[in-house]
């Protein structure tokens, strides 16, 4: 069978699973419990000897259908979906790591991931933050007890791009779990599997859902990590193919025990949203390039951070790795121009904290999402007080440019 395209596979995913009445969308299944005619079958489901549903916190048919779509998009082997992106990240790391383990993380991180890594440190898991745009910094931070490396594809809000391929090679050589947060690029622009990642993380809330109407998160196992060489897998999960040990432990420890499960209604919204991921992403990337070029030549803008600009430090890397430069950028305003005044003068562009929406959203990052970490850490991440992060949407480009023109005036 020839391999089908990204969109074709996704659009026909639910239907291939022989749903009731030939429905084209997987039904929203609200049931928490599942009844069995033969109680022995129920026992076999609990014992993992038979596929089936036992309780809604662990599994739900609507959520399973979404997991299958994401696995296909990421070309992975299995996906665990969670209530939010943060739940996916937290549950995964808490499932796989133990006190005394060490991880290396990019210093350029989504704010709440950064904060969660502080919690890991409180629990006795060491975290080294390094400049992951340079593989040598990652390499220099490795220790005897290093288990995992965590990076983002395009980092918030300064858009640094980790040395994704070289870190993949390093993790392979050193037998480390390589976790890549693919939220900013989405599987339309980039497959972490292509750089030897063990896991791809997606906040489904962002580009995959794409409409700002449902929260969700997912972790996809690419199938590339050899779990038989990982010391932290519980013996209870070793009675199956080693390929599945990692995701099984995440589903049992992270999803079942920690309980941040995705609901079926949200799963339905996210699945419908995912059907237009490619179209939205293409339009948003095109708009973002035009906005970045406009802002770059504007006298009130001091600096534009966008991987699509030739002067971006990792422009060549982004061009080589990604199918597009994404739709997230930040701008620094010149001295004397107040970011709040600019935001308040926007007409279509919404002052809002989300990203990956169909609408263009803008936020003064130092005063909001990066407020809690304090001035010193902000400075180390290159976040200026006047910085505005933009998540470019799919509006007509002329309307966006008109908005920037009048708001900056
Ligand atoms: C938003 C985001 C998350 C967290 O996702 P939620 O669904 O909001 O919990 C994680 N990583 C990145 C890069 C994000 O942008």
Please work out whether the CB of residue 212 comes within 6 Å of at least one atom of ligand 1: no
How many residues are there in the chain? 409
- Minimal CA–CA distance to 202: which of 187, 222, 224? 187
Helix (H) / strand (E) element for 286: namely: helix 277-296
267 and 291 in a single domain? The answer is no
Q: Which atom of ligand 1 is nearest the CA belonging to 155?
A: 13
Q: What is the pLDDT of residue 363?
A: 96
CATH of the domain at 293: 3.90.1150.10
233 and 191 in a single domain? The answer is yes
CA 351 to ligand 1 center in whole angstroms = 18
Q: What is the pLDDT of residue 1?
A: 61
Give the residue, by CA position, lying nearest to ligand 1 atom 1: 203
Q: What is the pLDDT of residue 372?
A: 86
296 and 392 in a single domain? The answer is yes
Q: Which atom of ligand 1 is nearest the CA belonging to 356?
A: 15
300 and 371 in a single domain? The answer is yes
Q: What is the pLDDT of residue 353?
A: 92
Locus of tokens 């896991």: 199
315 and 383 in a single domain? The answer is yes
Task: Examine residue 1 and state whether it is found in any structural domain, yes or no.
Answer: no
CA 203 to ligand 1 center in whole angstroms = 5
Q: Count the alpha carbons within 13 Å of 326 in the hemisphere toward its beta carbon.
A: 34
Q: What share of the chain is helix, strand, coil (3-state, %, to 5)?
A: 40, 15, 45
Task: Examine residue 288 and state whether it is found in any structural domain, yes or no.
Answer: yes
Give the residue, by CA position, lying nearest to ligand 1 atom 4: 85
Q: Which atom of ligand 1 is nearest the CA belonging to 205?
A: 7
To test ligand 1's pocket by mutation, which of 105, 110, 116, 210 has the most ligand atoms within 8 angstroms of CB?
Answer: 110
Q: How many domains, the chain?
A: 2
pLDDT tens digits in sequence order for the chain, 409 residues long = 678 999 999 999 998 888 889 999 999 999 999 999 999 999 999 888 899 999 999 999 999 999 999 999 999 999 999 999 999 999 999 999 999 999 999 999 998 999 999 999 999 999 999 999 999 999 999 999 999 999 999 998 999 999 999 999 999 999 999 999 999 999 999 999 999 999 999 999 999 999 999 999 999 999 999 999 999 999 999 988 999 999 999 999 999 999 999 999 999 999 999 999 999 999 999 999 999 999 999 999 999 999 999 999 999 999 999 999 999 999 999 999 999 999 999 999 999 999 999 999 999 999 999 898 889 988 888 899 999 999 999 999 999 999 999 999 9
- Domain stops at, among 258, 274, 290: 274
CATH of the domain at 169: 3.40.640.10
Q: What is the pLDDT of residue 377?
A: 85
Please work out whether the CB of residue 203 comes within 6 Å of at least one atom of ligand 1: yes
Inter-CA distances, 123 with 57, 95, 107, 388, Å: 25, 13, 20, 34
Q: Please state, in angstroms and rounded to a whole number, the distance separating the CA atoms of residues 2 and 17.
A: 19
Inter-CA distances, 304 with 257, 286, 404, Å: 44, 16, 13
212 and 287 in a single domain? The answer is no
Please work out whether the CB of residue 74 comes within 6 Å of at least one atom of ligand 1: no
Provide the pairing of β-strand 361-364 with 388-391: antiparallel
Q: What is the pLDDT of residue 115?
A: 93
Owning domain of residue 240: 6-274
Q: What is the pLDDT of residue 386?
A: 93
Please work out whether the CB of residue 357 comes within 6 Å of at least one atom of ligand 1: no
Give the residue, by CA position, lying nearest to ligand 1 atom 7: 85
Please work out whether the CB of residue 84 comes within 6 Å of at least one atom of ligand 1: yes
Please work out whether the CB of residue 110 comes within 6 Å of at least one atom of ligand 1: yes
CB contact burial 161-196 (16+ within 10 A = b; e otherwise)? bbbbebbbebbeeeebbbbbbbbbbbbbbbbbbebb
Please work out whether the CB of residue 85 comes within 6 Å of at least one atom of ligand 1: yes
């Amino acid at each position: 069978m020839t391999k089908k395209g990204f969109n074709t596979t996704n659009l026909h995913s639910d239907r291939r699973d022989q749903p009731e009445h030939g429905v084209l969308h997987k039904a929203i299944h609200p049931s928490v419990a599942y009844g069995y005619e033969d109680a022995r079958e129920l026992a076999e489901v609990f014992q993992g000897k038979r596929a089936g549903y036992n309780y809604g916190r662990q599994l739900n048919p609507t959520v399973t259908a979404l997991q299958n779509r994401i696995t296909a998009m990421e070309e992975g082997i299995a996906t665990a979906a969670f209530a939010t992106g943060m739940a996916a990240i937290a549950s995964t790391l808490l499932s796989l790591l133990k006190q005394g383990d060490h991880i290396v993380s990019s210093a350029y991180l989504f704010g709440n991931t950064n904060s969660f890594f502080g919690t890991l440190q409180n629990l006795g898991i060491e975290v080294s933050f390094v400049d992951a745009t340079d593989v040598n910094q990652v390499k220099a931070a490795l220790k005897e007890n290093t288990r995992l490396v965590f990076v983002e594809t395009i980092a918030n809000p300064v858009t640094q791009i980790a040395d994704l391929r070289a870190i993949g090679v390093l993790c392979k050589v050193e037998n480390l779990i390589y976790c890549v947060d693919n939220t900013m690029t989405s599987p339309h622009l980039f497959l972490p599997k292509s750089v030897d990642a063990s896991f791809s993380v997606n906040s489904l809330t962002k580009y995959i859902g794409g409409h700002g109407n449902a929260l969700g998160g997912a972790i996809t196992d690419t199938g590339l990590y050899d779990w038989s060489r990982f010391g932290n897998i519980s013996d209870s999960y070793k009675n199956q193919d080693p390929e599945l040990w990692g995701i099984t432990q995440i589903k049992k420890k992270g999803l079942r025990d920690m309980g941040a499960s995705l609901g079926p209604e949200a799963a339905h919204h996210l699945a419908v949203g995912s059907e237009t991921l490619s179209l939205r992403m293409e339009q948003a990337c095109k708009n973002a390039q035009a906005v970045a070029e406009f802002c770059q030549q504007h006298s009130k803008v001091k600096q534009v951070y966008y991987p699509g600009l030739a002067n971006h430090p990792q422009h060549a890397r982004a061009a080589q790795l990604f199918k597009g430069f994404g739709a997230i950028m930040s701008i620094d305003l010149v001295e004397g121009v107040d970011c709040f005044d600019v935001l308040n003068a926007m007409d279509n562009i919404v002052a809002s904290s989300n990203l990956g929406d169909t609408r263009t959203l803008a936020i003064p990052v130092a005063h909001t999402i990066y407020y809690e970490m304090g001035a010193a850490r902000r400075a180390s991440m290159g976040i200026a007080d006047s910085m505005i992060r933009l998540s470019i949407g799919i509006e007509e480009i002329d309307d966006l440019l008109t908005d920037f023109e009048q708001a900056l005036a």
